[in-house]
Amino acid sequence: QFGLSALVQTIKESPTLAVSSRAAKLKSEGRDIIGLGVGEPDFDTPQHIKEAAKQAIDSGFTKYTPVSGIPGLKKAIVAKFKRDNGFDYGVNEVIVGVGGKQCIFNLALAVLNPGDEVIVPAPYWVSYADIAMVAGAKPVIINCGIEQGFKLLPAQLEAAITPKTRMFMINSPSNPTGSVYSLAELQALGEVLKRHPQVLVATDDMYEHVNLSGEKFHNILNAAPELKARCVVLNGVSKAYSMTGWRIGYAAGPAHIIKAMEVLQSQSTSNPTSISQVAAQAALDGPQQCIEPMLVAFRARHDYVVDRFNAMPGLKCIRAGGAFYAFPDAREAIVRLHAAGKISAPNDLALSEYFLESAGVAVVPGSAFGAEGYFRISFATSMDNLRNALDRIQSALS
């Protein structure tokens, strides 16, 4: 067998994608599996967005585009940042990538050197740590459990920063917890960051519009505008407009960093798909009310799921401010099930395996997000599926 690189052997497959493909495989073998693993809205992409893409195809807009994105989309991104966030970016300070994931990837490669440290509060989105490692950097994971609302405290941030810290990742609303930082909490983190000019702030706002609480969204730059010269804002159309398969994300930040990300992109994927860029432009420039029906459904499901989990033995689940995930603390249930001989080991992997094998429900173990003892479900699926899945989990726990 031909040997693999040392680099690729330090990286793992995205665990959420792995759970989804395992559930799909069991289903194809005829097993009755409800998949709550996948993190994508279960709605169709709004019609006006699809129409824009069809028109792009029919008019022959099917060739290479500028690497950093078509001018119309970049202008729409600049306008979005002004409209939604009050930020002033020029078109040379934004870039379009192949999904939010590629933007984060390019950012890491553009600013990190081997040995640099990247602060990642846990629970974290599965890819942050591995992306940092691809760039040769060391993820520094800080535990932020349910007791602190899954949010990083300023003292924890201060304690984690060293002269080698080069980047701080913040994700609000959070995948997997749904936690949202308040303006005051962001201000307090901003105060710490202001004292450490070697640290770049990467804020992943992918779930900005999946706003369950209805409270105004705040980014760390709203709280600490002084950080703008060393902050990169990451966002995308995947979750807001149910466009996960179109693969369009974007980033805004200092022009020289954006330029470096463009150089990397020019040597990897070149431009994102021309047709998808036109669709993303229609999403950002078009009527924003198309998000509302999805939010109505997500809010109802959220309330249902959180109430049900809290009524189950050994689970504790806090309310989410955004995104479409619930992240129950299952530590008590794990201890009990293990003592009763129902799960093979006292951990969340064994619990998830038990849910899959004996209840036919696919969830993602918390350790995939750096939080042992929890599990994540996505409620981006029908109420019927949720009802059914929660009944099954409940009987597995009883």
Footprint on residues 325-354 left by ligand PLP (CB under 6 A): none
Q: Which two tokens stand for residue 70?
A: 């078509």
What is the pattern of x (binds ligand PLP, CB under 6 A) and - over residues 231-250?
Answer: -----x-x-----x----x-
In the bound complex, which residue of the shown chain has the CB atom lying closest to ligand PLP? 99
Site string for ligand PLP, 185-204 (x = CB under 6 A): -------------------x
| 326, 309 Cβ separation under 8 angstroms | yes
Residue 205 found at the interface with ligand PLP (CB under 6 A)? no
Binding of ligand PLP by 69 (CB under 6 A): no
d(CA 122, CA 131): 15
221 or 323: CB nearest ligand PLP: 323
172 binds ligand PLP (CB under 6 A): no
Toward ligand PLP, which CB reaches closer, 238 or 352?
Answer: 238
Q: Which positions from 70 through 89 interact with ligand PLP, judged by CB under 6 A?
A: none
**Of the ranges 23-31, 98-106, 154-162, 346-354, which one interacts with ligand PLP (CB under 6 A)?**
98-106
Among positions 264-293, residues that touch ligand PLP (CB under 6 A) are none
Give 126 or 359: the residue with its C-beta nearer to ligand PLP: 126
Helices (H), 67-149: 71-80, 99-111, 127-134
Compute the least distance from the CB of residue 180 to ligand PLP, in Å: 13
1 class by beta-carbon count within 10 Å (0-12 exposed, 13-18 middle, 19+ buried): exposed
Q: Are the C-beta atoms of 78 and 127 separated by less than 8 Å?
A: no
| Smallest gap from residue 344 Cβ to ligand PLP (A) | 29
Q: 17 φ, ψ to 5°? A: -70, -35
Give me the phi and psi of 200, to 5 degrees please: -90, 140
133 binds ligand PLP (CB under 6 A): no
Minimum distance, C-beta of residue 136 to ligand PLP, in the bound complex (Å): 21
For position 308 contacting ligand PLP by CB under 6 A, the verdict is no
Closest CA to 73 of 278, 235, 337, 251: 278
If binding means CB under 6 A, how many residues of this protein chain bind ligand PLP?
13
- For residue 213, the minimal CB distance to ligand PLP (Å) is 17
CB of 206 to ligand PLP, least distance (A): 4
Does residue 101 belong to the site contacting ligand PLP (CB under 6 A)? yes
Distance CA 276, CA 247 (A): 7
Q: How far is the CB of 218 from ligand PLP (least distance, A)?
A: 17
Binding of ligand PLP by 39 (CB under 6 A): yes
Q: Which of 100, 20, 87, 8 is nearest to 364 (CA)?
A: 20
Stretch that binds ligand PLP, among 95-103, 110-118, 223-231, 285-293 (CB under 6 A): 95-103
> What kind and span of H or E run contains 233?
strand 231-236
Residues contacting residue 377 through CB under 8 Å, at least 6 positions apart: 36, 37, 305, 325, 326, 363, 364, 389
Selection from 283, 308, 284, 300 nearest residue 391 by Cα = 308
Answer yes or no: are the C-beta atoms of 38 and 16 closer than 8 Å: yes
The two structure tokens encoding residue 89 = 């970016």
Nearer to ligand PLP, 17 or 350 (CB): 17
All residues at 6 or more sequence positions from 107 whose CB lies less than 8 Å from its CB, including other chains: 202, 232, 234, 251, 253, 257, 261
In which residue are the tokens 């824009």 written? 52
**Distance between CA atoms of residues 251 and 246, nearest Å:** 16
151 is a site residue for ligand PLP (CB under 6 A): no
In the complex, what is the shortest distance from the CB of residue 27 to ligand PLP, in angstroms, rounded to a whole number?
21
Q: Which of 15, 41, 46, 100 binds ligand PLP (CB under 6 A)?
A: 100
Smallest distance from ligand PLP to CB 376, Å: 11
Q: By CB under 6 A, name the binding residues for ligand PLP.
A: 39, 99-101, 125, 171, 175, 204, 206, 236, 238, 244, 249
